[in-house]
Structure 1
Amino acid sequence: MKKRYFVLIILAALILIPFVVSGVRYFMPVPAGVSFESEEYQTDDATFLYDLTYTNNDDAITQEQEIFEEVYTMIGEAEEFLVIDMFLFNDDYNHETLDFPPLSQNLTDKLTAKKSENPDMEIIFITDGINTFYDTYMPPHINELKKAGIEVIFTDLSKLRDSNPLYSGFYRTYFQWFGTSEDQWMINALRPQGPEVNIRSYLTMLNFKANHRKLIINEKNGLVMSANPHDASVHHSNIAMKLNGDILYDLLQSERAVVNFSGGNTRVFSDFADKLPEKTEDDEGQYTVQLITEGKIKDNILEMVNAAEEGDKLSVGLFYLSDRDIVEAFKAALDRNVEMNMILDINQDAFGNEKNGVPNRPVADELTTHDNPANIRWYKSGGEQYHAKFIMLEAEGEVIFNGGSANFTRRNLENYNLETNVLVTAPADSDFAGEITEYFNRLWTNEDADYTLDYEEEAEESLMKTILYRVQEATGLSTF
């Protein structure tokens, strides 16, 4: 009998300890410098860019690509330093059934050529462990960066809060002590043709956390975007904002924080800051710009939505919409008779694989069946994704725009993933306001091509998908 009780106590402890670990990690603070909100700066320089893939009136697939052309321009113009932070940086996809331009290799070639031309210039490339399938192998293009003398820093994801606590408590208690391994004997889910991976890689991946930022900084400009240098993402429709001035100091500081908790050398960031234009302390300029990261992005979204009044217009373009606080804020705005127009990805395509429409379809159903329904259109996909992440408020005399890397999901907005957005407030008659409103209206009205579909064409009412979405969003047992 005593042995039986002893065994039960041991089993209970083995189960209880991971839940205690989960609780501790859930309430732990984010690393220093994360979840950051900068000062507001005035500037006359703010530019909106986008990529679009769509069907024109002749049923031909057309692409407009601006974002990585601007990335290449910034690399070419850099004279003092480059700091790049990119989430997906690989050519992982099913090469037997799909074929994409070599975007990741093209970026590699631009960076290694720049380093060859200017060997003394510091180039720091920050990225996520997904590109090595969590320390299983080192891709050739990343090895090329290292051999060229470019410092590659893999974000230490273990320092971030756990978005999937039901699993991560057990992982931290039992599995992480096995470390990583370069053994290769299991099929690579991201690239079936190999290289193969191992069980430790999958155990790490199931924590579902990431450095999801996408940006580049040189001594002249910063570019914050929703686009990844990932071959299979090359046709996605994305957005970006190019800025300069005093906000560059904060962009550097936010990246320095990642390098710091990931064990990299942060001293060079002081040198980089010294090479930026001297701070102006100038309160003139038609645009107000602000850097926001992680949880501060959500705070600003909610502030924008809650401030919208009857007669104002909210326009949203999103790859994922699932965060419950934001959904409820949207419904409250609709109840105040705020006009709300949304362009959503259908969530049906992922690099050749078919998805089930979660979370966007159940959320769209909720918003369109609300007492005061939202106006929703689906982006018309030909296998690519509408990968934009932004919200825009058109109020009397001004336009406020919040965009960047962050999907509107719990994982992206509750201090789990690393994210970078910028907030731009512009006069309604300014160039920036004209650029973003023209972009949205072009897609909304199908001005010169077939960009979007009527909501009814892909509408779906599914109790099972609604339940699945709610459970996944609440627990973190999902990839969104």
Structure 2
Amino acid sequence: MKKKMKQWSTRKRIVIGSLCAFMLLYIGVILWHTYKPLPAGVSYAGEIHRTDDVQLFTDLTFAEDRKGTGMKSELEIFDEVYTMIDEAEEFVVLDFFLFDPYSDENIDFPDIVQSLTAHLLLKKQQHPDMPIIFITDPYNTGYGSYTNEWLEEMEDAGIQVVYTDLDRLRDSTPIYSGFYRIFFQWTDFEQDGWLPNAMASQMDDMKLSSYLKLFNIKANHRKVVITEKAGLISSANPHNASGLHGNAALKVTGPILNDMLEAEEAVMKFSGGGDLPRVDVPEADGEYQIQYLTESKILNSLLSDLESTEKGDTIWMGMFYLAKRDILSALVEAAERGVEVKLILDPNANAFGNEKTGLPNRPVVNELLEDSENRIQVRWYNTVAGQYHTKLVYIKSEEQSVIYNGATNLTERSLDDYNLESELKVIAPNSSDLDVELEGYFKRLWTNDGAMYTLDTEVYQDEMSFIQRGIYGMQVLLKLTTF
């Protein structure tokens, strides 16, 4: 009897010791991959430059009513991207998150992937020695499950395609990432995909190992085009199913191009690529101040500008995802100071034909209205097709406006050095061309000038908002989100 008790005690100590050892390993792995040093050049703040040349381009899809009657689209961004490629004489650098033509929706989307590929191939054919670099996310190969035929065609033509090494970035879902890093990242033994592709049924099957990598959610989320003549920072993906989304882009010229190239070169280098060219452009004077920002440097700068607002100022936001706690607090505090806060948000109702739960924006709006005692004003974009995918902030004070535009959702994953993000900050005098154009853009949508662009707050603030708020709170606490 004593011998059996001793054996049981030994086994118990072994089990408890093993569990403790595993938990120490698990916690250690989580802490390392959550806080490990970023690759050199990530989280970048460029110099402040001056210019007279900042141009706004927007994509909008809208209708006469919520049913989509008389639906129309105004699409400017990729036409400008094609023009930039066609006019380039020395180099073209692109960094885009999504790049595929597939969709399960019965909608006639623009052929963006095919058109962009054709322009790049023609440019390479006309100028065989010109460097053309396309940086992208491994999402576009199903995280290694298959090849992307359009990117493969580019590579065959001599265009350099660089897939971002996401493993070098920090992990944003610690509960899952601990298991992923210990067990799952070593499981790529399959030759071919065999699981249905969740992105679109027309796409190739995916490996189990690819899904396991997908669930460790992070991305190179940037949308950037740079030539020796100009740079464009956008919220728009070259992705056919995203072709009717609402988006915004800013195009700039001058020495800031070297800041953009430096930030992209950092991604190149930690992903196995090399150096990028530079431009020889002298500093100049101009009415606009411009700065290129990435990752958490965006958060630091934006928070400072929001916290500096005073009574009589106006904060406009056109945003796909709004969830970062620091930003929410800054908006509430601004409203309490007498700042007019006006938000145009996507209702998070659908994603490529699939119904969504309204997270995070609907519970966030519920919270903002409550915390600000309804001082904050909200309108939902009327998403008759696609999404209101814009990431645009416009802060207007007595003498100037501060503008942020780019790829960055106002969420933890985008602003806390998990995803790779890109943003242009512009300080514009009041009544400058850019200031007038942006004010006109927001007022057009807010007042439904010419179409039903936006809907009243109450449309999506129904009885489910409190349930959604609880789910949202749990997701944020556990960091188990897709936003």
TM range (shorter): over 0.9
Aligned residue number for residue 441 of structure 1: 443
**Secondary structure in 2 matching 1:412:** helix
Q: Residue 81 of structure 2 aligns to which amino acid in structure 1?
A: V
For 1:244-393, list aligned pairs within 5 A.
244-266=253-275, 269=276, 272-273=277-278, 276-280=279-283, 282=284, 284-369=285-370, 370-393=372-395
Q: Residue 328 of structure 2 aligns to which amino acid in structure 1?
A: V
For 1:42-441, list aligned pairs within 5 A.
42-56=50-64, 59-94=69-104, 97=106, 99-179=108-188, 181-266=190-275, 269=276, 272-273=277-278, 276-280=279-283, 282=284, 284-369=285-370, 370-441=372-443
CA drift of 1:473 comes to 2.6
Mapped contact 1:361–1:460 kept (Cα < 8 A):
no
Structure 2 unaligned blocks of 5 or more: 1-7
Aligned residue number for residue 454 of structure 1: 456
CA drift of 1:56 comes to 4.1
Mapped contact 1:186–1:199 kept (Cα < 8 A):
yes
**Secondary structure in 2 matching 1:265:** coil
Task: Output one character per residue of 1:5-50: Cα deviation in whole Å (capped at 9) or x when no partner.
Answer: 2133223323431221001122222211111111111110001110
Mapped contact 1:323–1:473 kept (Cα < 8 A):
no
Q: Residue 320 of structure 1 aligns to which amino acid in structure 2?
A: Y
CA distance in 1, matches of 2:454, 2:187: 48
CA drift of 1:98 comes to 5.0
Task: Output one character per residue of 1:258-293: Cα deviation in whole Å (capped at 9) or x when no partner.
Answer: 001111122xx1xx21xx23332x3x2100000010
CA distance in 2, matches of 1:119, 1:307: 50
CA distance in 1, matches of 2:394, 2:323: 18
CA drift of 1:180 comes to 6.4
Q: Residue 293 of structure 2 aligns to which amino acid in structure 1?
A: I
CA distance in 2, matches of 1:376, 1:258: 37
Mapped contact 1:224–1:241 kept (Cα < 8 A):
yes
Task: Output one character per residue of 1:318-345: Cα deviation in whole Å (capped at 9) or x when no partner.
Answer: 0000011110111111110110011000
**Secondary structure in 2 matching 1:135:** coil
Mapped contact 1:19–1:166 kept (Cα < 8 A):
no
Between 1:398-407 and 1:367-376, the stretch displaced more is 367-376
Mapped contact 1:135–1:182 kept (Cα < 8 A):
no
Aligned residue number for residue 35 of structure 2: 27
Aligned-CA RMSD value: 1.5
Mapped contact 1:48–1:241 kept (Cα < 8 A):
yes
**Secondary structure in 2 matching 1:106:** helix
Task: Output one character per residue of 1:136-157: Cα deviation in whole Å (capped at 9) or x when no partner.
Answer: 1002111111111100000000
CA drift of 1:475 comes to 3.1
Mapped contact 1:349–1:383 kept (Cα < 8 A):
no
CA distance in 2, matches of 1:337, 1:315: 14
In percent, how many aligned pairs have the same letter?
45
Between 1:30-39 and 1:187-196, the stretch displaced more is 187-196
Mapped contact 1:214–1:225 kept (Cα < 8 A):
yes
Aligned residue number for residue 479 of structure 1: 482
Aligned residue number for residue 3 of structure 2: none
The normalised TM-score by structure 2 is 0.95
**Secondary structure in 2 matching 1:470:** helix
Q: Residue 49 of structure 1 aligns to which amino acid in structure 2?
A: F
CA drift of 1:181 comes to 4.2
Task: Output one character per residue of 1:68-92: Cα deviation in whole Å (capped at 9) or x when no partner.
Answer: 0000000000110000000001123
Task: Output one character per residue of 1:239-270: Cα deviation in whole Å (capped at 9) or x when no partner.
Answer: 0000010100100000000001111122xx1x
CA distance in 2, matches of 1:432, 1:56: 28
Q: Residue 366 of structure 2 aligns to which amino acid in structure 1?
A: D
Structure 1 unaligned blocks of 5 or more: none
Mapped contact 1:85–1:216 kept (Cα < 8 A):
yes
Which portions of structure 1, spanning 4 or more consecutive aligned residues, are displaced by more than 4 angstroms?
none
CA distance in 2, matches of 1:183, 1:304: 50
| Counterparts in 2 of 1:56 and 1:372: CA distance versus 1, 3 Å | closer
Q: Residue 63 of structure 1 aligns to which amino acid in structure 2?
A: S
**Secondary structure in 1 matching 2:368:** helix
The normalised TM-score by structure 1 is 0.95
Q: Residue 34 of structure 1 aligns to which amino acid in structure 2?
A: V
CA distance in 1, matches of 2:254, 2:266: 20
Identify which of 7, 20, 28 aligns with 2:15.
7
Identify which of 29, 37, 45 aligns with 2:45.
37
Between 1:179-188 and 1:42-51, the stretch displaced more is 179-188
- The alignment covers a number of residue pairs equal to 471
Mapped contact 1:365–1:460 kept (Cα < 8 A):
no
| Counterparts in 2 of 1:433 and 1:183: CA distance versus 1, 3 Å | same
Mapped contact 1:347–1:359 kept (Cα < 8 A):
yes
Q: Residue 430 of structure 2 aligns to which amino acid in structure 1?
A: A
Mapped contact 1:351–1:383 kept (Cα < 8 A):
no
CA distance in 2, matches of 1:343, 1:353: 22
